[in-house]
Amino acid sequence: GNSVTQMEGPVTLSEEAFLTINCTYTATGYPSLFWYVQYPGEGLQLLLKATKADDKGSNKGFEATYRKETTSFHLEKGSVQVSDSAVYFCALIKAAGNKLTFGGGTRVLVKP
């Protein structure tokens, strides 16, 4: 079956540090890949997405590249802010399906 594995948190960083959250997936076919972010007390929001191999999704300074050869979709940001403190979820949907498969989430805490 489909699965998503992401690094466990919490990840604690100082402001302006570089952030990487690793995400790898297992799926048959050609899934679409997503990063969702959940700020404290809120629902999940789509952060970025990529629908085919080598696509790069980007939003709010975050980037992730769909790497089919390594089945990965790592999230990066060059300079984090305190406001980036949240839980980040990697997820996939198979092209022919309608169900999101989520990773376990990674809590990120950015300190001033």
Partner 1 sequence: DAGVIQSPRHEVTEMGQEVTLRCKPISGHNSLFWYRQTMMRGLELLIYFNNNVPIDDSGMPEDRFSAKMPNASFSTLKIQPSEPRDSAVYFCASSITGTVAYEQYFGPGTRLTVT
Binding mask 75-104 for partner 1 (x = CB under 8 A): --------------x---x----xxx-x-x
Among positions 19, 25, 27, 32, the unique one binding partner 1 when judged by CB under 8 A:
32
Helix (H) or strand (E) holding 93: strand 86-93
25, 34, 66, 73: which one binds partner 1 (CB under 8 A): 34
Identify which range of 17-25, 32-40, 58-66, 75-83 contacts partner 1 by CB under 8 A.
32-40
* CA contacts within 13 A on the Cβ side of 19: 31
Token pair for 62: 């975050």
Classify burial at 78, counting beta carbons within 10 Å of its beta carbon; exposed 0-12, middle 13-18, buried 19 or more.
exposed
Size of the site for partner 1 (CB under 8 A): 18
Rank residues 42 and 69 by Cβ distance to partner 1 and give the closer one: 42
Instruction: Please give the radius of gyration of the chain, using alpha carbons only, rounded to the nearest integer.
Output: 13
Smallest gap from residue 100 Cβ to partner 1 (A):
6
36 to 75, contacts with partner 1 by CB under 8 A?
36, 42-46, 49, 51
Q: Report how far residue 93's alpha carbon sits from residue 3's, in angstroms, rounded to the nearest whole number.
A: 10
Map residue 83 onto helix, strand or coil: helix
What backbone phi and psi angles, to 5 degrees, belong to 79? -150, 100
> Which residues of this protein are in contact with partner 1, per CB under 8 A?
32, 34, 36, 42-46, 49, 51, 89, 93, 98-100, 102, 104-105
